[in-house]
């Protein structure tokens, strides 16, 4: 009668099959984590680098298209500065260029587009559609990214009270002077873009500008806003304001 020899195991040693299965599970989990890490890295590279490349190209196109339109359709007649009225643009349409000397590296002939959706902010600054137009009584409110998508407002922390903000349209140049800021806002502080910031329902009497962006720079938990007031207007035919060289 034949006999089958049983495998010899030393006391306390795990069964061979269980050990092999455990290694496979550990290897599989490790591969999953490596894959997730690679995907996270690629997503980070896309958000922090590639969106900047794409948006820089889109901004250049918007600027060229807008300035070409201005050249092709010159202003028929000069209008006194106090009588200028900027027409409401279509949603997503570029209608002005923004210049901030303190942030010249990022904000020089930056297109301002109608709306604040993600696709709009990927092509420059965005105008809150319910806010005033440049030079109008009320609050001309705009927003832009602080990180990703060309990060126009990356250096908003450099701004100081008294800094100038210039808005160029087909008709005129509008100069705003910054007066105060608040870097501790939340996404729910919508009063910052009201006709009279901080005074819901109040009737505006001044011509203001509000600029908003996310904070901290690589987050979106808070908001940073700067406010200013219109201090001068000059028709486009007069050229750029003094000291503002290198304009589009």
Domain boundaries, the chain: 51-75+91-238
User: Is 127 one of the annotated active-site residues of the chain?
Assistant: no
C-alpha dihedral, 89 to 90 to 91 to 92, nearest 10°:
-80
Helices (DSSP H) in 51-197: which residue ranges?
51-72, 118-121
User: Is 223 one of the annotated active-site residues of the chain?
Assistant: yes
Residue range 51-75+91-238 forms a domain whose CATH class is mainly beta
Distance (Å, whole) CA 207 – CA 129: 16
User: Is 102 one of the annotated active-site residues of the chain?
Assistant: no
| Cβ neighbours for 119, distance < 8 A, ≥ 6 positions apart | 92
Mean pLDDT by 10 residues, the chain (248 residues): 52 58 65 55 54 92 96 74 88 98 96 96 97 98 95 97 97 97 97 96 97 94 98 92 82
Distance (Å, whole) CA 117 – CA 124: 11
pTM greater than 0.75: yes
Q: What is the model's pLDDT at position 12?
A: 58
Distance (Å, whole) CA 75 – CA 87: 13
Q: What is the model's pLDDT at position 15?
A: 57
Q: What is the model's pLDDT at position 82?
A: 73
Residue indicated by tokens 């092709």: 72
C-alpha distances in Å from residue 124, one per residue of 29, 59, 100, 197: 43, 6, 14, 24
Q: What is the model's pLDDT at position 30?
A: 61
Helices (H) and strands (E) in the chain, counts: 3, 8
Copy the structure tokens of residue 220.
């979106």
Which one of 123, 127, 145, 146 is the catalytic residue? 145
Which one of 123, 127, 146, 214 is the catalytic residue? 214
Cβ count within 10 A of residue 157: 13
Q: What is the model's pLDDT at position 9?
A: 55
Q: What is the model's pLDDT at position 51?
A: 82
């Amino acid at each position: 009668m034949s006999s089958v020899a049983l495998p010899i195991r030393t006391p306390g040693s795990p069964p061979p099959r269980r050990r092999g299965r455990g290694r496979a599970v550990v290897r599989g989990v490790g591969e999953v984590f490596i894959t997730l890490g690679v995907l996270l890295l690629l997503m980070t590279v896309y958000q922090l680098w590639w969106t900047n490349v794409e948006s820089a190209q889109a901004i250049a196109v918007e600027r060229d298209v807008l300035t070409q339109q201005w050249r092709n359709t010159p202003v028929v007649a000069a209008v006194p500065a106090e009588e200028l009225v900027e027409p409401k643009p279509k949603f997503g349409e570029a209608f002005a260029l923004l210049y901030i000397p303190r942030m010249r590296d990022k904000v020089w002939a930056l297109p301002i587009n109608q709306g604040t959706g993600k696709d709009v902010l990927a092509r420059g600054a965005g105008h809150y559609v319910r806010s005033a137009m440049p030079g109008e009584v009320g609050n001309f409110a705009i927003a832009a990214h602080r990180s990703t998508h060309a990060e126009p407002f990356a250096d908003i922390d450099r701004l100081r009270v008294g800094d100038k903000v210039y808005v160029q349209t087909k008709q005129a140049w509008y100069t705003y002077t910054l007066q105060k800021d608040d870097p501790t806002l939340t996404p729910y502080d919508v009063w910052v873009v009201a006709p009279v910031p901080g005074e819901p329902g109040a009737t505006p009497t001044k011509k203001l500008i509000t600029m908003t962006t996310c904070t901290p720079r690589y987050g979106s938990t808070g908001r940073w806003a700067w406010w200013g007031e219109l201090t001068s207007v000059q028709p486009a035919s007069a050229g750029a304001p003094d000291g503002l060289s290198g304009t589009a």
